[in-house]
Amino acid sequence: MGKKISGQDFIYGILAVICLGILMAAAWGSRCRERAWQAQYMEDVRIVVFGDSITGEYREETSVTGLMSEALGEPVFNAALGGTCYSYTDTDHRLFYTKDCLNMVGLSQSVLADDFRIQKNARIRESVTEYFENTVEDLSFLDFTQVDTVFLSHGMNDYHGGVELVNEKDLYDPYTFTGAIRSSVANLKKANPDLRIILVTPTYSWYRAEGLTCEEYDPGGGVLEEYVEAEMALAEELGLECIDLYHDFYPHEKWEDWELYTNDGLHPNEAGRRMIAEKLTDYLEGHHRKRNG
């Protein structure tokens, strides 16, 4: 026979259930308040910066977007995700390959559909991606019809992956560098025809392990300047604005110059982030920007 439950045990059980219910309700209430705050914050966003770890590695007040926000006196949303590209990279064309949905061409499709469920379900096991979930969650609250300016600052990882520059038979091929930019711009323009899109080129970089600069290092698709030149030419073709962070930006007369504005030859240190933020901010302030609302 089973052990008989006493009245005291029964009462303790009921109290435990009640306490659990109270804790769950409190957690749910806290989450609802957090989501309400997120939604309110995102309603005020008019400037969004997409990109990779050059702009996404730091996300506090010394980040590129944090410094821009301080200088402009308005929120600048950091939608950059480290390790991502403009282009799709899964050449097997597997549907729902998780990293591809986070590349710019995948994000632009979700902006157009106003549906980020595929990104929310993505499970990335790479290091330093803990902020991805919150970033995608915030993007789902963003009304892109109310955004007036978007910076697209990918490119470094396309270069690192040796992504093909162009497919002459399909200029919108999302598995190529310029095709992915074309596709991303087209999707964003369909979502908001009045959207101002500004391309931002990758920065000069040093590869210390190989003892090479980006002028010498070719991962398979060409040296970095070839990607920069292709992006700048495409911007001119499409009538887009483009900020060049490659030519005449970081000093690189000596090998040791990598220490001036980067932590490792690639990712900007605080001085580098401030330099990038000032370049983007000065560009906005020097070129008229119509504000919505």
Q: How far apart are CA 239 and CA 186, in angstroms?
A: 12
Q: Cα–chain-centroid distance for residue 58?
A: 12
Angle made by CA atoms 82, 232, 181, in degrees to the nearest 5: 50
3-state secondary structure 4-58: CCCHHHHHHHHHHHHHHHHHHHHHHHHHHHHHHHHHHHHHCCCEEEEECHHHHCC
Q: Which of 247, 244, 259 shows the shortest CA–CA distance to 214? A: 247
Q: What torsion, rounded to 10 degrees, do the Cα atoms 143, 186, 85, 285 define?
A: -60
Percent of the chain with pLDDT over 70: 83
pLDDT of residue 8: 63
pLDDT of residue 89: 92
pLDDT of residue 247: 98
Q: What is the mean pLDDT of residues 76-101?
A: 86
Mean pLDDT of the chain: 89
Q: What is the mean pLDDT of residues 11-38?
A: 55
pLDDT of residue 30: 43
pLDDT range class, residue 291, cuts 50, 70, 90: very low
pLDDT of residue 99: 85
Does 67 or 30 have the greater pLDDT score? Answer: 67
pLDDT of residue 98: 77
Q: How far apart are CA 269 and CA 227, in angstroms?
A: 23
pLDDT of residue 36: 46
Confidence (pTM): 0.85
Q: What is the mean pLDDT of residues 47-54?
A: 98
Question: Parallel, antiparallel, or unpaired for β 212-213 and 241-243?
Answer: unpaired
Q: How far apart are CA 242 and CA 229, in angstroms?
A: 11
Q: What is the mean pLDDT of residues 229-243?
A: 98
Lowest mean pLDDT among 70-84, 96-110, 158-172, 266-280: 96-110
Return the top range by mean pLDDT from 1-5, 22-26, 96-100. Answer: 96-100
Q: How far apart are CA 25 and CA 31, in angstroms?
A: 10
pLDDT of residue 241: 98
Residue 149 has pLDDT above 90, yes or no: yes
Does 16 or 115 have the greater pLDDT score? Answer: 115
Residue type, 234: L
Contact 142, 42 (CB under 8 A): yes
Residue 221 has pLDDT above 50, yes or no: yes
Q: What is the mean pLDDT of residues 119-126?
A: 85
Percent of the chain with pLDDT over 90: 76
pLDDT of residue 14: 74
Q: Cα–chain-centroid distance for residue 95?
A: 21
Greatest extent of the chain over all pairs of C-alpha atoms, in Å: 87
- The single residue listed with the structure tokens 């009462």 is 11
Q: What is the mean pLDDT of residues 142-160?
A: 97
Q: Which of 168, 83, 198, 85 shows the shortest CA–CA distance to 132? A: 83
Does 212 or 90 have the greater pLDDT score? Answer: 212
